Amino acid sequence: MLAARIRKNVVVVELGSVYVRAGYAGEATPRCVWASPTHNLEEWFVDLFARGLLAAKASQLRVVVLESPTVARQWRDARIEALVAAGPPEALAFAPTSVAAAAALARATALVLDVGASECRAIAVCDGYAVRHSLCVGDDLAALVLTCLDRCALDTRRRLAANLAPAGGRAMTPGFDARLCADLRALAPGLDFRIAHADFPRSDLAWTGGSILAAAALVDHRFDGLDPAHPPPDIFAIGSPLVAGIRLDPPIER
């Protein structure tokens, strides 16, 4: 088991608009799912590490924060300040939820459709990297997908259409896949739209992918020498050979 072979000091935290998921790298499901903090981030992070993850101190942890591509810069800076004040952690890194969701599906190229509680986002992931200019936000899911495809290179559109990756709790609605594909095929009959399915709940998809990427980064020593007060740009890539063939630990009994 992957998590048994690595040190239990890498924490993956997905900060959503309604819920926060946290757990250890190499595990298939988060250890805890809490309501998102509304104030006093520093105390909230201390409580999360001590009570939610049963970790002695944040300073003993390497923390990977999964963030939405639409997060405001000032909100990201506030998270960094709160995490550093709570520990500071041994290392701190950020990763986009879109790349993490694609990793959970074992896809280097996918169109991630994040159906969240407050907004819906579509963004393309090509060869392990998020295509930032393809990001679309709105309520009409089929229109979001088509607009996102239109912003991508011509030679990637068929691959992206064949690897749609719905994520988020609202994407678990019964009949979601059939309705989405029917709408897309009616609007763009020339493309073959297919849904990429995973063995994990869509509500946890981004967290599980982040767990995979963080475990691979640990094995690859990509955390070494990171300054928690100045997190680097994205250090994760699905294309790493270490990601291929990773086996996650079984889900934790709740």
pTM assigned to the model? 0.82
As given in the structure block, the two tokens for residue 223 are: 């955390």
Same domain, 118 and 79: no
The residue type of 56 is A
Could you tell me if residue 17 is inside a domain?
yes
Residue 43: what pLDDT? Answer: 86
CB of 71 closer than 8 Å to CB of 209: no
Q: Range of 188's domain?
A: 107-197
**pLDDT tens readout for residues 192-248:** 999 999 888 999 999 999 998 888 876 555 555 555 555 554 444 444 333 333 333
Long-range contacts formed by 229-237: CB under 8 A, 24+ apart: 229/80, 229/84, 229/88, 231/80, 231/92, 231/93, 231/94, 232/93, 234/94, 234/95, 234/96, 234/99, 234/129, 235/93, 235/95, 236/93, 236/95, 236/99, 236/100, 237/99, 237/128, 237/129
Could you tell me if residue 225 is inside a domain?
no
Could you tell me if residue 214 is inside a domain?
yes
Same domain, 213 and 93: yes
Residues for the chain: how many in total?
254
Query: pLDDT confidence of 249, banded at 50, 70, 90?
Result: very low
**Number of domains composing the chain:** 2
Judged against a pLDDT cut of 90, whether residue 6 lies above it is answered with no
What's the CATH number where 114 sits? 3.30.420.40
**pLDDT tens readout for residues 62-100:** 888 898 877 777 877 887 788 788 777 887 888 889 889
Could you tell me if residue 42 is inside a domain?
yes
